[in-house]
Structure 1
């Protein structure tokens, strides 16, 4: 059996890999589950919330953890794959305890929780919370200036009280490296109160990326709790097609207020997309493909493709058009695939290597025809042009997939499907064996 670390701070567990006894990776730690106890008794740590490959979240009892070392968790026994559902008596350590404002018992001074220390009890597989890493002050600017100290659990009070306006800085720090889709999974599993607090703490561009990965109900809930000026800023940071999809689900009055608060050019793109039927090329396209003039060179094209904010599907090809070079453009001339750009000298004009034979799509192209087009020509995005031949935008394969999958695919993916194991209890005792 591996030697356990005497004490582990939970921020170091976030996202680390979980392995079974054979060395196969089971998933990654997304949170810890604790049960608060009466008085000053340290909370008992019940287990880990582990996200498996299918993005289902399962519960791993601490009695099945045999080692926490070198950035990994080692388990023993059979793991119950039933979906984790938090009980009313349980507390998520990362999601609910970090950033809480509590008080020191001795002085009554308010402090903010930055981290939590857990320890395994001697000669047992039980774990409990024993230390709290806090910073004095009420948060904000004072948070960085106040003294930081580690105290016993019994030295602080206030964890069991409901708190309004809880921060999210420490929680977000533990998930800083997560992809937007994974951070969306974190938000989806938080309580509505905590979800709103975390969303408020994210930067506009980060929140926009996360919103694009959330189920529709979560998107509407989060946007509805933001101040209207900030909601408009976040919508501006979203891809226009995603912003249009979200706004179309809001009441007409609220939608118009938000559009009025957006920058005119951003609002114009969104309004244009909302004018098309949802399951058509016009309704699915983005208005921000890479557009180059005929006299641009391969070097110019590669410089645009290198933009880190571009999705892989949009960076796969550039569109050659006469001025103006923002959608709707002048006459659409053709497209150049990224691979072709790599094969030609930097000084080559893109107009001389553009593929002019590939047909463009009208905006009213229905989804089945659009899907067949991408499959027939092995494309990851397709140009959409109007009757005059001007480029309106591009439809990417990821947007097409969003509409080919069931309407609730994001929520289904985040929840996973419960696996019924006959006789298995809350902690999977019958499934795990002795």
Structure 2
């Protein structure tokens, strides 16, 4: 949704039908899930609780929602059918935030929450709570007395729940602004019990990012303490190459059990990576580079490159292939680098800008040869193509560095006080 996207009040979403891209109904919206944040920052909207036709309540992340308008919600069509389980840092917007008594910051007056508005952030896939519709006076939601007004989230206080026992909310609030590598550092130094509590409270995407930055022993320990369904969700949220690296540390029976619980498409990517030797281009690559068809334009390419969740290495180039667009693709045609995209008009076809001089890497290319390739041609990523000419994925310089450094480099960094954190 572009900048200036319309504000949506959550009361209008209750019971709204949810459809897949071809128009088949998946279920109905039961609630929305938000995560409160430190200070007065508006909560991030994580997803929707959808009651599917079997009356099971499942969780659909906002990243799987492609449209919210005209009394309907449209999804990508990929819905995880595991039963929804609320986590410690999550709040149900309809079930826990509406009808709540909160306080206006400016006047100190108590008001009742009648409705909450959400909005998608410009040029991003993230959603957050935008406004709060409240009624003054002591009456509840059924009372018609008292002035009503719409205020910013930061204009009221009292949404946070009181903690009973030792949870992880305050600790997470302290860590909220840390980069994944720095949060991983903090997590590494906690006791195993506390580490498990914090990991359990993190949402799937955040935990996936942090796991990718932890030493292998910590990764295996944390994954082992999660429920298997949750562990599969976190593996789905990880980059496929990182998920494959983590699964390769587990016994084969545990690997297979978790892969079976993952979404078939995500599991298929990880299975392909597990089939390659670890220190080869196939074992190092990610299966999710930016792939475009020959008839895509520079504007299309730049729209893909600017996606916030892409790493700088993956955003540095796009790979042009014949259909299908998902790896393994149709015939690989060539690469277009980001700098070239900036030099040509938006309507130019990417097929006219191809750098096809460099031969791509074969999946069995050993690590030293991959390193030499990136260094010789000043590349931050390189395509990996099979014998039939299909693009399998891309090797990025950060994954190469992970395998060039000593096996214990993460532990060494974590034990050197302040290393790499500007202290």
1:297 counterpart residue number: 297
Equivalent residues in 2 for 1:139-218 (5 A)?
Answer: 144=159, 166-218=166-218
Q: Output the CA distance in 2 between the equivalents of 1:376 and 1:178.
A: 35
Superposition deviation, residue 146 in structure 1: 6.0
Secondary structure in 2 matching 1:393: strand
Any idea what the Cα deviations from partners look like across 1:11-51, whole Å, max 9, x if unmatched?
A: 99xxxxxxxxxxxxxxxxxxxxxxxxxxxxxxxxxxxxxxx
Secondary structure in 2 matching 1:362: coil
2:243 counterpart residue number: 243
Q: Output the CA distance in 2 between the equivalents of 1:276 and 1:347.
A: 39
Secondary structure in 1 matching 2:286: coil
Superposition deviation, residue 145 in structure 1: 6.6
Equivalent residues in 2 for 1:387-406 (5 A)?
Answer: 387-406=387-406
Residue 263 (structure 2) pairs with residue 263 (structure 1): yes
Q: Output the CA distance in 1 between the equivalents of 2:316 and 2:162.
A: 50
2:336 counterpart residue number: 336
Normalising by structure 1, we get a TM-score of 0.59
2:375 counterpart residue number: 375
Gaps of 5+ in 1: 1-10, 13-98, 100-142, 149-157, 419-434
Any idea what the Cα deviations from partners look like across 1:92-128, whole Å, max 9, x if unmatched?
A: xxxxxxx9xxxxxxxxxxxxxxxxxxxxxxxxxxxxx
Secondary structure in 1 matching 2:372: helix
1:426 counterpart residue number: none
Equivalent residues in 2 for 1:76-91 (5 A)?
Answer: none
Q: Output the CA distance in 1 between the equivalents of 2:306 and 2:287.
A: 19
Q: Output the CA distance in 1 between the equivalents of 2:162 and 2:407.
A: 49
Q: Output the CA distance in 1 between the equivalents of 2:410 and 2:200.
A: 22
Secondary structure in 1 matching 2:319: strand
Q: Output the CA distance in 2 between the equivalents of 1:147 and 1:326.
A: 46
Any idea what the Cα deviations from partners look like across 1:321-353, whole Å, max 9, x if unmatched?
A: 000011000000000000000000000000000
Shift in CA distance, 318/146, structure 1 to aligned 2, threshold 3 Å: closer
Q: Output the CA distance in 2 between the equivalents of 1:146 and 1:298.
A: 48
Superposition deviation, residue 273 in structure 1: 0.2
Equivalent residues in 2 for 1:30-109 (5 A)?
Answer: none
Shift in CA distance, 183/261, structure 1 to aligned 2, threshold 3 Å: same
Shift in CA distance, 260/147, structure 1 to aligned 2, threshold 3 Å: closer
2:362 counterpart residue number: 362
2:286 counterpart residue number: 286
Secondary structure in 1 matching 2:339: helix
Superposition deviation, residue 358 in structure 1: 1.1
Superposition deviation, residue 417 in structure 1: 7.9
Q: Output the CA distance in 2 between the equivalents of 1:270 and 1:321.
A: 22
Superposition deviation, residue 167 in structure 1: 1.1
2:386 counterpart residue number: 386
Q: Output the CA distance in 1 between the equivalents of 2:160 and 2:369.
A: 60
Gaps of 5+ in 2: 1-37, 40-88, 90-157, 419-423
Superposition deviation, residue 175 in structure 1: 1.2
Any idea what the Cα deviations from partners look like across 1:367-390, whole Å, max 9, x if unmatched?
A: 000000000100000000000010
Secondary structure in 1 matching 2:329: coil
Q: Output the CA distance in 2 between the equivalents of 1:415 and 1:147.
A: 35
Q: How many residue pairs align between the two structures?
A: 265
Equivalent residues in 2 for 1:313-332 (5 A)?
Answer: 313-332=313-332
Q: CA RMSD in A?
A: 2.1
Superposition deviation, residue 254 in structure 1: 1.0
Secondary structure in 1 matching 2:393: strand
